[in-house]
Amino acid sequence: MTKIRILAILLKSSTYQGRRSQGPDRSRALCPDGMEAGVGKMDRNLLEVSAKEIAGKFGYYTDEAMLRPVGIQRHGVTRVVMLSLNEYERLLRRDRQVIRTEDLDDETFDAILNAEIPAEAVALNYLMDDTATD
């Protein structure tokens, strides 16, 4: 028998299943973006785990972080969250800075107030009319 066939038989046997270390279900198919096949979005429920547990099963929890955020606790307080790279990049794309007008310096505030609308933008004003058709 080939090694692959033997491994497949072992994986199906109940005795091997009982001896497997507690880890992620390797039978779940992951898409290239790291999400579970058929699910589409990352589970938003935070899995909270102690730092000691993470250190002992790092591979398992990095696999879990591909499916949902993993909160790493120290002394019972979640201090860090482990995310998949795709989820991190998605959050970066949504990141923006919000500043109140009161917090702007005078020069920036005046620049905004006195900004000229480019002719190309003025030419698009008709798109905002109620009479425009799709």
Tens-place pLDDT, residues 101-121: 888 899 999 999 999 989 999
134 found inside a domain: no
- Domain hosting 80: range is 3-128
Q: What are phi and psi of 104, to 5 degrees?
A: -75, 145
8 found inside a domain: yes
77 found inside a domain: yes
71 found inside a domain: yes
- pTM for this entry: 0.45
d(CA 24, CA 16): 15
The helix/strand count (H/E) of the chain reads as 7, 3
Nearest to 44 by CA among 64, 67, 25, 63: 67
pLDDT tens sequence across 116-128: 989 999 889 888 8
d(CA 48, CA 80): 10
Q: How many domains does the chain have?
A: 1
d(CA 113, CA 74): 49
Residue ranges, the chain, pLDDT below 50 = 1-40, 132
d(CA 51, CA 68): 17
Task: Please give the pLDDT value at position 134.
Answer: 52
Bridge partners of 70, per DSSP, are 47, 82
